[in-house]
Each structure stands twice: as structure tokens, then as C-alpha cells.
Amino acid sequence: MRRARRVVLGAGGAVVLLAALDAYVVVTVLVDVAADVGIPLNRLERATPIVTGFLLGYVAAMPLLGQLSDRFGRRPLIHACLAAFALGSVLTALSAGEVMVVAGRTVQGVAGGALLPITMALIGDLWDEHERPVALGAVGAAQELGSALGPLYGGVVAGIPATVVAGVELGGWHAIFWINVPLAALAAVAVHLTVPSGTPGERRQDAATRTHGTVNAASRVSGGTEAAPQAVGTTEPAPRPTAAAAETGAVETAEVETGGAGAVVADLGGRKESVRGGAGRRVDVTGGALLALALGLLVVGLYNPDPTESLLPPWGLALIAAGLVAGGIFVWWEIRSPVRLLDLSAARKGPLLATLAVSFLAGAALLVTMVFVQLTAQTLLGEDALGASLVLARFLAALTAGALLGGVIGRALGERVVAVAGMAVGAAGYWLMSRWPLDLESAGLVVDLDLVVAGLGLGLVIAPVSSAVLRVSPAAQHGVASAAVVVARMMGMLIGIAAVSAWGFHRFQSLTAHLDTPLPFGVDAVTYQRQLAEYTAKVQAALHTEYTEMFLVTAFICLVGAAVALMVPRAGAGVRR
């Protein structure tokens, strides 16, 4: 049975990795996608929804669809999400305009965002409390691996030569999304063969019923006659669960109680829970809708399709205010609702919120880096998608090394020290990046070293944040606590890229508003080429100013993160009693 659980873990980790790869893969080919769907290079702000659409769907769907899997079963929800993921991939690959590519990416995000909490919930079903952290760590590693490999994966796959079959483009950036279809199909087969069917409640009911039958059989054997039926609501001792039952995580204690109307109540981890089935479990649809509404209003309010005149669109302030109100209502609802999207009621609130805030700010810095280092490499260094991803690889390699190092140092010095140091080092790295010269090719190793410093700093934060959240949460809530860290980071990515890019694109438009695009009419070829070269140099200078100022803003985000990290709980501060 242990081998069977490892197979389940492998299948679950694979689907999480598939979704995580696509969360970051588009940053590599954003310029190519924008060009193919009709977005000019000097209007890249119109490409922002390609990134934010996926993230919005990912974050909004993550907690709600995780709860739906409690009601309808893990396997059907994973199958549905993989099918939707494949559909979103096809829509994206076939896109010929902005609306279709954003719609396809949003569908991908909704489907991909649900796979992580469902997989974590599946681990909660099949692993006991002692072994569960290791399995959760493996799934978390798959999520982090996707963030590290996504841009490189995109750069490599986008290198497939352009190939047109029956009028459909299969190569280039389109290949990234076409390849998701067979990958999703293979994942669906693996899930169907390995993941248990039925809802968690139904599996517990079956196991409890088997245990109850074992008790009666034992009574008949020991007494020589069949035992009299127990009255409804009585409790009878039961033998320890069998190895098979323990492997499924179905029965966690040795006491089973019979209930009315054929129901069975099992004492699970100190609480009595009905195991009639999953159909009656409530889902916090209101909370999910409020979270999606709040995030959607904020993102739309920050998106300005024409940043020439102002930082925000005409509707910006009103929608941002409405988003903040919706967010406040969401918090109010989650405090008072008996059913919550992320129930961390037993965790210590102050340390928990501080730690999640650090994850939020680190996420904002992370995605700004992934998107705008790629753009810097492609627009200022003239790299193609693969070459730009290799430039970003310096940052990603340092991020991975920092994540490993942060876990080791955090165990010795405590999460707070490492989290503060990591955000401070990240701030130093982004400050150095804000001083990059206009002629980046002449900078040599300076660019590489600065990217390494920034990546190392952000990487140091990953393990301490996850460890601190688990330490202030009870063991029974470790799965939802781990998901909360990811949700906070993804929300930081979503809001961070929307806000920072809105300011950056407005800055670029203000720097180039006075420039007149040269036209090859009424002048000789030599004059036109000279005018074009002067115009291109001024656009390059404006892009350089935009990027370096955005990295400076990111440095301030990391400084705020370092200040907030001072409130991360000290070692030894555990769960609230």
C-alpha cells in the first residue's frame, strides 16, 4: 500500500508541476505572443492581461475548487480540471487576437489553480499526521520546480520550428500550449489508475462500516452466538484499523459509533464526524465569489489600456475602491462563516498574517522580475525567447539555491532572521539592477551577479515562510496552511505585476510621448535610416529608464517585506492554545 501511495503522490505531483509550469511559461514568449495577436512593441501594456488573466483564475479558483473536491471527490475534480486545462491550452494556441488569448489563459488558470489544493487534500486523505508533512513537501517542491523551470521550459519548446498543418500553426510559442493536450491526457490516465474513487466521506464510511462489521463478527466468535443489535447512538469498541484502512487514511482511531438513519459516525482525530458521504458537505461559494470579485476589481482597476495620459484608467479609482470594499466584506464573511475557504482559525493570527504578508510581497517581487528581466533581455539585449530565458536562468538558479540554503540556515538561526535577511538581500539585488547601464552588453558579469543576488535573497525567504506558517498552525491544518502560503504568493504576483506594470508602462508612454515615428516618405533612404536609428535609440533609452525604475520600486517592495518579516514568529512560538 505504501507503494500505491507513492504512485498517487507521483501522479498528483505531476499535475501540480504541469499547472505550475504554465503559470510562468508565458513570460518567456510574451513579446512573441503579443506580436502575433497584433500588439505592437510600444504598447506592451495591452499584453498585461495575458499574465494577469491566468493568475486571476489561478488564485480565485484555488480554494473554492479544493472545497468542491470534498463534496464530489478528488478524482472527478482532477479530471475536470485537466480537461479544462487542455481546453484553455487549445484556445490559447489558436488565438489570433487579444481577447481569445486572454480567455484561453484565464481558463488555464482556473483549471491549474484547483490542482494544487485538490492534490494537498488528497494527501490529507491518504497520509496520516506523522507522514503527511513529507508528502506535502513533495507537492510543494513540484510547485516551486514549476516556477524555476517554467521560463526555461517555455524558451526551449518555443524553439520548435514553425509548422503549419491544415492552416493551424503548431510550432513556435504555439507549441507550448499544443503540447499540454497530450500531457493533460497522460496525467488524466495516471490519475484514473491511481487516485481512489469516491468522496473522502464515502471512503471513511466504507472503512467504518467494515470496522463495525469486524466488531460484530468478533462478538459472534467470542460469544458463540450473534450479538444483539446495538441501540442507535451507542458506542462500541473496535479493533485498531487494519493496515489497508490506515493506508487509505479512512479510519484514524479505534472507536466507531452508529448513528440514526443508517449513518455512521467515526471519531477522527479527536472529533466526531459523519461519514455518510461527501454529498452533504457545504462549500463556501459566497467566500469564493467575494474573493474572485475583489481580485477581479483590483486587477481591472489597475489595468490601463491607454497609459499615455494617466497612470490609471478613468474607471481605475472607482474599481480599486470597490475591490477593497469587496475584500473587506470577504474578510468579514470568512471570520463569521461556519464554512471557510481557508480555515486557519486555530492558528495564531498576528504571526500568521505577518508571514503570509511576507509571502505576498515576495511573490510580487518574483513575478515582476520574471516578466521584466525577460523584456529587458529581449528589447535591450536583442535576445530571442530562448536567449532571454537563459538570462533569467541566472536569477532562477540563485532562487533555487537560496530556497535550499534558506531551509538549512532557518533551522539553525530561526525563520525570522532568515526571512528578514532574505528580503534585505533581495532589496540590495534590485537596487543594483536599478543601476544597470543603458549599454547592457558592455556590463558583462555585472548583470549576472546582480540577478544572482536578487534571486538568492528571494530564495532564502521561501522555506522560512512555509516553515513559520506550519509552526503556528495545528497539524490538522497543515495542508490548508501550505495552500495559504501559495495563495498569498500568487496574490502578490497578481496584484504586484498589475500595479508595477501599470506604473512602468505609464512611465514609458510619458517618456516617448514627444517622439515622432519616422516615415519613409518625402525623405531619401539615408535620411530615413538616420532618423529611424535616432528614434530607436530614444525608445531604447526610454525602455531602459522604465525597467530600471521598476527594479527600484521592487527594491522598496523587498524593504517593506524585510520590515514585515520582523513580525514573523520567533522559534518556539507554536500553535495558539
pLDDT in tens, 168-204: 888 888 999 999 999 999 988 888 888 777 665 555 5
Grid look-up 537560496 returns 402
Per the CB < 8 A criterion, the answer to whether 425 and 457 are in contact is yes
Conformational region of residue 73, where left means phi above 0, alpha means psi within -120 to 50, and beta covers everything else = left
DSSP letters along 496-555, please? HHHHHHHHHHHHHHHHHTT-----SSSS-HHHHHHHHHHHHHHHHHHHHHHHHHHHHHHH
Find cell 491544415 and name the residue. Answer: 166
Give me the residue label for grid cell 529587458.
376
What is the rounded distance in angstroms from the CA atom of residue 204 to the CA atom of residue 273?
A: 10
Residues in CB range of 166: below 8 A, 6 or more apart: none
104, three cell numbers: 484561453
Q: What 8-state DSSP symbol labels residue 476?
A: G
* Euclidean distance between CA atoms 222 and 11, whole angstroms: 44
- Cα–Cα–Cα angle for 51, 57, 59, rounded to 5 degrees: 100
In angstroms, the CA 238 to CA 211 distance is: 7
Q: Tell me which architecture the domain covering 1-198 has in CATH.
A: Up-down Bundle (1.20)
Three-state SS at 275: coil
Cα 137 from Cα 134, distance rounded (Å): 5
Tell me the whole-structure pTM to 2 decimals. Answer: 0.74
CA dist., res. 469 & res. 446, Å (int):
36
Q: What angle do CA 117, 99, 105 make, to 5 degrees?
A: 20
Q: Find the length of the chain.
A: 577
Amino acid, single-letter form, for residue 268: L
Instruction: Look up residue 53 and give its DSSP letter.
Output: H
DSSP SS3 for 237: strand
| Cα–Cα distance, 271 to 253 (Å, whole number) | 10
Per-residue pLDDT tens digits for 365-422: 998 898 889 889 888 888 888 888 888 889 988 988 888 888 788 878 888 899 999 9
Q: How far apart are CA 222 and CA 220, in angstroms?
A: 6
3-state secondary structure of 168: strand
Domain with residues 348-577, CATH architecture: Up-down Bundle (1.20)
Distance CA 419, CA 555 (A): 15
Reported as type and span, the H/E element at residue 161 is none
Q: pLDDT per position in the chain (577 positions), as tens?
A: 567 777 877 888 888 888 888 888 888 888 888 888 888 777 777 888 888 888 888 888 777 776 677 777 788 888 898 999 999 999 999 988 889 999 999 999 888 877 877 787 777 777 776 666 677 667 767 777 787 788 888 888 888 887 888 778 888 889 999 999 999 999 888 888 887 776 655 555 555 555 455 545 444 444 444 443 333 333 334 444 444 344 444 333 333 333 333 333 334 334 344 334 444 456 677 888 888 899 899 988 988 887 877 788 888 899 999 999 999 998 888 878 777 766 666 666 777 888 889 999 999 999 889 888 988 988 888 888 888 888 888 998 898 888 888 878 887 888 889 999 999 999 999 999 999 998 888 887 889 999 999 999 998 888 888 778 877 777 666 656 767 787 888 889 888 888 888 888 888 888 888 888 788 777 888 888 888 888 888 888 998 999 999 999 999 999 999 999 998 877 655 544 4
Do residues 285 and 61 touch, judged by C-beta distance below 8 A? no
Which residue reads 480540471 in cell numbers? 81
Q: How far apart are CA 556 and CA 544, in angstroms?
A: 19
